[in-house]
């Protein structure tokens, strides 16, 4: 397989990716929850269409730039899970919302007002989710009374319609066991449900309760009160979930093929994949910058831009110049954004090049 690509190469096993798509779709169906996958993990029209074909009810984008690319490709139900701040963003939202159904989020009066002004220009209300802090301390109103008071402040804005609550409990990736992950997933769902119920009791209809990362969505049947999940990383998986024991190597679709280019000393080697290929993201439960499939005990202990530094026991591992290695990245979501295209394989054979259409669309 590796002889057919020039390294370093980001590849995807299409059979694994499609199996992951089907598996998540089935979990959502069994739980009676809609799945609106986050396309920031792949940024590709090809994979977005695969997810929609499997039953997704729309897609989630991180930024307007991604949404614009997906809309041009004919995808017509898009959630932008990021605040719309700035006149330039308002204009782009106006243009986008004339073409497709767009839902967005807000956690400030300024953000909600910006979306409302766009809705007024359009002559219709734009669906809006209120973002609730899921515990990560990023964006979002505080659960409960703070969210209720915020909803009351913005519900009279003429260009928006509050249609849901949204949260992201990113702290789940720091949990140390399956039971802790399950507990955090349930807590995220309970927090959202309780807040949604509070708003409903106050006469504010909340038809959509949107939560669920790739980890918490593995417990979709236990997310009481959640009506929509937004898993993203699940399509590829990576060392993050592998090191937590939530998946196996055979569930990891995205990989990097790299070549040993130097063996400067016993127990040390250099590969041609550095930070521009693998990223410098680290994971709390694994060492180094990726998992080498052929030799899991080797540590990628350092990255320069184009060089990866390997450390290993020369008594048990022998590497030679020109040898190919397969790396599962620490954080798969970052890699597609570093590539114009990735190579799709089936049965160890390259079958197509997949364009990363929204690469660099980060605004």
pLDDT digits (tens, 9 = 90+) for 239-260: 999 999 999 999 999 999 999 9
pLDDT at 4: 77
Q: What is the largest CA-CA distance in the chain?
A: 72
Mean pLDDT of 78-89: 98
The top-level CATH class assigned to 2-9+245-355 is mainly beta
Mean pLDDT of 198-224: 96
Mean pLDDT of 306-328: 98
Q: What is the mean pLDDT of the chain?
A: 96
Residue 237, preceding bond cis, omega within 30 degrees? Answer: no
Mean pLDDT of 127-140: 96
pLDDT at 3: 57
- The boundaries of every CATH 2.40.37.20 domain in the chain are 2-9+245-355
**Is the model's pLDDT at 2 over the cut of 70?**
no
Statement: the pTM of the whole predicted model exceeds 0.85: yes
CA angle (178, 137, 151) in 5-degree steps:
110
Q: Which two tokens stand for residue 104?
A: 């967005």
Residue 94 to residues 61, 84, 163, 357: CA-CA distances in angstroms?
A: 16, 11, 19, 22
Q: Which two tokens stand for residue 161?
A: 């319609």
- Model confidence pLDDT, tens digit, residues 94-104: 999 999 999 99
d(CA 175, CA 130): 26
Mean pLDDT of 22-35: 97
Mean pLDDT of 106-110: 98
Nearest to 231 by CA among 12, 56, 35: 35
- The boundaries of every CATH 3.20.20.10 domain in the chain are 76-231
d(CA 152, CA 298): 56
**Is the model's pLDDT at 1 over the cut of 60?**
no
**Is the model's pLDDT at 343 over the cut of 50?**
yes
The top-level CATH class assigned to 76-231 is alpha beta
* Residue 284 pLDDT level (bands cut at 50, 70, 90): confident
Cβ atoms of 330 and 240 closer than 8 Å: yes
């Amino acid at each position: 397989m590796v002889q057919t690509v020039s390294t370093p190469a980001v590849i995807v096993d299409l059979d694994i990716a499609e199996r992951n798509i089907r598996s998540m779709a089935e979990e959502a169906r069994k739980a009676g929850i809609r799945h609106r996958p986050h396309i920031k993990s792949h940024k590709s029209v090809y994979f977005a269409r695969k997810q929609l074909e499997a039953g997704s009810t729309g897609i989630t984008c991180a930024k307007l730039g991604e949404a614009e690319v997906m809309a041009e490709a004919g995808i017509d139900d898009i959630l932008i899970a990021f605040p719309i701040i700035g006149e330039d963003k308002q204009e782009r939202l106006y243009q986008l919302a004339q073409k497709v159904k767009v839902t967005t989020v807000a956690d400030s009066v300024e953000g909600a007002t910006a979306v409302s002004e766009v809705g007024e220009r359009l002559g219709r209300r734009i669906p809006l989710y209120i973002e609730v802090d899921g515990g990560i301390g990023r964006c979002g109103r505080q659960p409960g009374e703070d969210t209720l008071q915020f909803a009351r402040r913005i519900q009279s804005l003429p260009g928006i319609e509050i249609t849901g609550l949204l949260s992201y409990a990113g702290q789940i990736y720091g949990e140390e066991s399956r039971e802790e992950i399950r507990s955090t997933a349930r807590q995220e769902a309970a927090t959202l449900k309780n807040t949604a119920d509070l708003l409903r009791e106050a006469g504010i209809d909340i038809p959509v309760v949107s939560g669920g990362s790739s980890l918490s969505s593995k417990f979709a049947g236990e997310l009481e009160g959640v009506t929509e999940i937004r898993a993203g990383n699940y399509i590829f998986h990576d060392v993050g979930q592998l090191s937590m024991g939530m998946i196996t190597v055979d569930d990891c679709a995205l990989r990097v093929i790299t070549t040993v280019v130097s063996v400067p000393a016993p127990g040390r080697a250099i590969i041609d994949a550095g930070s521009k290929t693998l990223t410098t993201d680290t994971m709390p439960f694994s060492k180094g910058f990726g998992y080498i499939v052929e030799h899991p005990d080797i540590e990628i202990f350092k990255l320069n831009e184009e060089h990866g530094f390997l450390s290993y026991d020369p008594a048990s591992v022998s590497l030679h110049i020109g040898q190919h290695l397969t790396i599962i990245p620490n954080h798969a979501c970052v890699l597609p954004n570093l590539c114009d295209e990735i190579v799709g394989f089936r049965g160890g054979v390259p079958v197509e090049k997949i364009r990363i259409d929204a690469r660099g669309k980060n605004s």
